[in-house]
Amino acid sequence: QVQLVESGGGLVQAGGSLRLSCAASGSIGGITATGWYRQAPGKQRELVATITNTGSTNYAESVKGRVTISRDSAKNTVYLQMNSLKSEDTAVYYCWSRRFYKDYWGQGTQVTVSS
């Protein structure tokens, strides 16, 4: 099993920045990708950004240029740096990992952007 714990969410004004962290523990060997999804009230969960174990990244069009995903392998932690935040970025952000074709999710962290 893989445990994912998010941190770093909170309330920020539009135009501000936040950095989310996702710490992985447990049976982390074999993880091939980690990333972030988000779910706003009344909407489906959507991809924000992912990073593979080889460092390849993928971003949603809505966040390109404003968001950077990175990882610290020594700390088993993935980060999501979010800049120029907009009210439409308000959502619960979930950390995600895939290991041997099985998906794992964190509990989520709330990000609220006030306009």
The pLDDT, as a whole number, for residue 69 is 98
The pLDDT, as a whole number, for residue 36 is 98
The pLDDT, as a whole number, for residue 15 is 98
List of the chain residues with pLDDT < 70: none
**Phi, psi angles (nearest 5°) of residue 61:** -60, -35
The pLDDT, as a whole number, for residue 28 is 87
- Report the distance separating Cα 70 and Cα 78, nearest Å: 6
Q: Which residues contact 67 (CB under 8 A, 6 or more apart)?
A: 48, 49, 59, 80, 81, 82, 83
The pLDDT, as a whole number, for residue 52 is 95
- Report the distance separating Cα 13 and Cα 37, nearest Å: 21
